[in-house]
A = this chain, B = another copy of it.
Amino acid sequence: MPIPAPLTGVVPPVCTPLTPDREVDVPSLINLVDHLVDAGVDGLFVLGSSSEAAYLTDAQRRLVVETVKAHLGGRLPLLAGVIDMTTPRVLDHVASVTAAGADAVVATAPFYARTHPAEIARHYRLIAARSSVPVFAYDLPVSVHTKLGAELVLELAADGVLAGLKDSSGDLGGFRAVVTGARTHPGVTGFSVLTGSELVVDSALALGADGAVPGLANVDPHGYVRIDRLCREGDWERARAEQERLCVLFGMVGVGDPGRMGSGSAALGAFKAALYLRGVISCPATAEPQVPLSEGEVERVGKYLATAGLL
């Protein structure tokens, strides 16, 4: 299906359930898709960072897109990440995920390679020229180690290279420059500006963002759908209350002991533990070499769910 222009609303970055031996758990993945669709989300984003795309082999990535596409059909737009180091490798992923049915691709700037804004622009232009579906930029400085500037994004939007932005930079000031620029920059139309934040979705929507791609929406999609609806209705006060409830819930990413694991392991481990405890997926395993949560840490995730009324 064609992606709406702009794409709006809640578009969860879908976790990738794994079996105990770290293969894609297809039935759990289908369950998770149902869990999200039933909550009323507006699209799905597979193979993003919350999907552990960086940890999935090419075969696993393809299986994820095929599985979700087959189950979802044309009910909702399906975006797929094409996370890799540079243009030629990203183009291989573009071919793979579009063959498997993705309605749009989501690409970061080059990483590992030391790059330059001119090379980032060239990267996106080459991807767009070779992609049969719209291209979204994915701004994730914590992983990519460069920040996409608002000027660059808007220039690429005006040239029809980019269809949207998923901004996980945490910089709401820069995000706002893209949001207002998408309204005022000559030549930009239908550009979708999405926040990747879990914590300030109400703020992002209040300043004009089109939607949100929060990892925590795997755990509580209803909550983010409610925020989106309340914001569209102008009920900022209740939106804020809902957002604050979700901020507390997000505290679960801190249960993993930082002396024993990275912050990525802690966050993804918590999301998967929560999905497991809620009965959505069959196994909370994360991909190697991430350190798993301990039993006690999983119990603490359960307490976060209980506090949020999700157990």
- Which A residues have a C-beta under 8 Å from some C-beta of B? 22, 54-58, 60, 83, 85-89, 91-92, 110-116, 118-120, 122-123, 126, 142-145, 170-173, 176-177, 180, 197-200, 202-203, 206-208, 236, 240, 243-244, 247, 258-265, 287-291
Contacts and interface: CB of A to CB of B under 8 A. Distances in A.
12 contacts: A87-B289, A113-B264, A116-B291, A118-B261, A119-B262, A126-B288, A171-B171, A180-B244, A200-B203, A202-B206, A203-B203, A206-B240
A113 B143 contact: yes
User: How many chain copies?
Assistant: 4
Given A57-B88, A86-B288, 11 more contacts: A54-B85, A56-B88, A58-B58, A58-B92, A83-B85, A111-B111, A113-B290, A114-B262, A172-B200, A203-B207, A236-B236
Given A207-B202, A247-B180, A263-B114, A55 B288 contact: no
Contact of A289 (B111, B114, B126, B290): B126
A203 B260 CA distance: 36
Contacts of A243: 207
A138 to B, nearest CB: 11
A200 B180 CA distance: 13
A243 to B, nearest CB: 8
A120 B236 CA distance: 36
B116 A260 contact: yes
B112 A88 contact: no
A112 B203 CA distance: 28
Contacts of A83: 85, 112
B261 A116 contact: yes
| Chain A to chain B: the 4 pairs with minimum beta-carbon distance, closest first | A173-B199, A116-B262, A122-B289, A123-B289
Contacts of A22: 88
A47 B180 CA distance: 33
Nearest to A176: B199
Contact of A172 (B92, B111, B118, B203): B203
B264 A115 contact: yes
A264 B172 contact: no
Contacts of A87: 55, 287-289
A86 to B, nearest CB: 5
Contacts of A111: 111-112
A177 B240 CA distance: 13
